[in-house]
Chain A
Amino acid sequence: MSQRLEGRLSQIVRELPPSGIRRFFDLANQMEDIISLGVGEPDFVTPWRVREACFYALEQGYTTYTSNRGMPELRVAIANYLHKYDLHYDPLTEIIVTIGGSEAIDIAMRTILSPGDEILIPDPGYVSYYPCAILTGATPVAVTTCASDDFKLTKEAILGKITEKTKAIMLCFPNNPTGAIMTHSDWQPIVDLILERDLFVISDEIYAELTYGEKHVSIAAFPEMKERTVVVSGMSKAFAMTGWRIGYVTGPEYLIKEMLKIHQYTIMCAPIMGQMAALEALQHGEKDKDAMIKEYDQRRRLVVEGFRSIGLPCHEPKGAFYAFPDIRNTGLTSAQFAERLLIEGKVAVVPGEVFGQSGEGFIRCSYATSVKQLETAIERIGLFLTQLDRIEA
């Protein structure tokens, strides 16, 4: 009976593959005494001043809906904040506060894509881009990035995948899972190509704050790019506010106007408590944020050095909080490696293939974990590798 009913559900949803992370989560969740480098969120709790501001807002009775676009003061704070990346948006018409960057990605794709369109997606990349594109009826097309290029996006890779159906390109730099960033000179040839082919751009810049040594460069800051670019960002990563579910999307008025329709009918508005907290974070949270970034940077050096010292090649991630070491010389697939490391070595990492075919041969290791845990994890992985060698030999 239920099978018959199930067969009548939306075909597009039924055919959507379940998240690869989910399967791995179920496995890891049963284990005890593991160290997890598999977590895609900060290990810090939200800065106290931000949590405290939320209590205050609740005491004051801020428990209502807000404007669909989000609280006006928050939109002003977001607009001011984005000036640091040379991004200039009108808080009245060019910003929507969303339920995390997640919603922003969804409504941007639904607004730009029609069935039959193609959207280029960097591979490896964050897990929601593919399904969100498929749900619009469009076809996601992977654009490979390689370890040999430090996982930067290249014009050549795009040219190999672009067709007359290509309408848009999804971007994610600093990148989850590779930690890759793009500099001004990395962007230039890609910007030229995008203009030449008249593509839309959805640029997920949720890790913009987390770059090490080089400041984030937003593609939307290039001349002529703003009118065709939607920037997705949010509070989750930079301010350790994942659970608050506050993100935002900025873009030219004509695009925001259309995205707002979806947002207002499906979401209405982001929760006001989260918006009040986000306001505090943007207005007074800079020092807290900078302290966390400093700490990530130290851990980043520790894990990269650690992986190299136990024989895993690892390019230097310049952004986000992930290292993406190369496990190809173990002869295992990334899924096999991750599964055996979990069971035999008691360390959880995420197999690179979860983030797309080009992630195969790599594992994503989050360094949003204490230094002590990181040091123990590297030790355990080193031991696991030695045992692996012994079995192979």
Chain B
Amino acid sequence: MDERAKQTLLQLVHDDALQSHESLATRLGVNVEEVVQAISDFEAKGIIMRYGAVVNWDKADSSRVTAVIDVKVTPERGRGFDQIARRIYLFPEVVSVSLMSGTYDLQVIVEGRKIQEVAQFVSEKLSTIENVTSTTTHFRLKTYKFDGVIFDDPTTDQRLVVTP
């Protein structure tokens, strides 16, 4: 399988991980064995990290709150941001941490069952870390689109059933 086909395969698996290897192989015009090999290579190299589902939690009726927190830090000499990021991401309530360009340094996403829970994490854990100089917490009110998936997409097939 050439590099382009591999990239396409990766995108297809990203979009729908439940597709059968046979179907993926036919769509790409390659053998099933090649697909199996490529996927296990992706897994081995840590390119594919995990298979999951995109869930609209608002609809699932599970009470959970998500906060996006802008964190400013003073990086440590010789260790940069990585060490501080690690100290943050090892907390289980942290679902994502990214280093950002711009007015703050780390974007931290935290999930909890109640606002108080998240607030407590920020005030007791996050802002007390030595190199953290400031935090700004934004609570997520509604998700419209996530990872390429539109959550309240009203588009239905408008086409007539048979056309020339």
| Interface, chain A (partner B; CB < 8 A) | 19, 21, 24-25, 28-29, 34, 36, 38-41, 43, 45, 126-128, 176, 294, 298-299, 301-302, 305, 348, 350, 354, 371, 375
Contacts and interface: CB of A to CB of B under 8 A. Distances in A.
Interface in B21-76: 23, 26-29
A298 B27 contact: yes
Contacts of B157: 43
A24 B160 CA distance: 12
Interface in B133-164: 155, 157, 159-164
A25 B163 CA distance: 8
Q: Which of B12, B28, B29, B162 has the most CB of A within 10 A?
A: B162
Contacts of A28: 161-162
B162 A21 contact: yes
A39 B162 contact: yes
B-side interface size class: 10 to 19
Nearest to A38: B162
A294 B159 contact: no
B120 interface: no
A305 B162 contact: no
Q: Which of B19, B23, B160, B161 has the most CB of A within 10 A?
A: B161
A41 B25 CA distance: 26
A167 B155 CA distance: 47
Contact of A350 (B19, B155, B159, B162): B162
B159 A41 contact: yes
B162 A348 contact: yes
Nearest to A21: B164
A298 B26 CA distance: 7
B22 to A, nearest CB: 9
A35 B146 CA distance: 29
Nearest to B20: A375
Given A19-B164, A39-B163, A299-B27, 5 more contacts: A25-B163, A29-B162, A36-B159, A39-B162, A302-B23
13 contacts: A24-B162, A25-B161, A36-B159, A36-B161, A36-B162, A39-B162, A127-B164, A176-B164, A301-B28, A301-B29, A302-B23, A348-B161, A350-B162
Contacts of A375: 23
Contacts of A302: 23, 26-27
Q: Which of B27, B28, B159, B160 has the most CB of A within 10 A?
A: B159
A378 to B, nearest CB: 11
Contacts of B8: 294
Nearest to B157: A43
Contacts of B163: 21, 25, 38-41
A39 B26 contact: no
A164 to B, nearest CB: 32
Q: Which of A34, A128, A176, A298 has the most CB of B within 10 A?
A: A298
Contacts of A36: 159, 161-162
A301 to B, nearest CB: 5
A25 B23 contact: no
Interface in B6-24: 8, 12, 19, 23
Nearest to B11: A294
A371 B27 contact: yes
A126 B161 contact: no
Contacts of A41: 159, 163
Given A45-B155, A294-B8, A38 B161 contact: yes
B159 A39 contact: yes
A121 B124 CA distance: 79
Q: Which of B12, B19, B27 has the most CB of A within 10 A?
A: B27
A19 B163 CA distance: 10
Q: Which of A38, A294, A350 has the most CB of B within 10 A?
A: A38
B126 to A, nearest CB: 37
B59 to A, nearest CB: 21
A210 B111 CA distance: 46
Contacts of B155: 45
A290 to B, nearest CB: 12
A369 B19 CA distance: 16
Contacts of A39: 159-163
A353 to B, nearest CB: 13
A-B pairs with the 5 shortest C-beta distances?
A298-B27, A38-B162, A25-B162, A36-B161, A40-B163
A96 B161 CA distance: 31
Given A45-B155, A298-B28, A301-B29, A371 B161 contact: no
Q: Which of B27, B160, B163, B164 has the most CB of A within 10 A?
A: B164
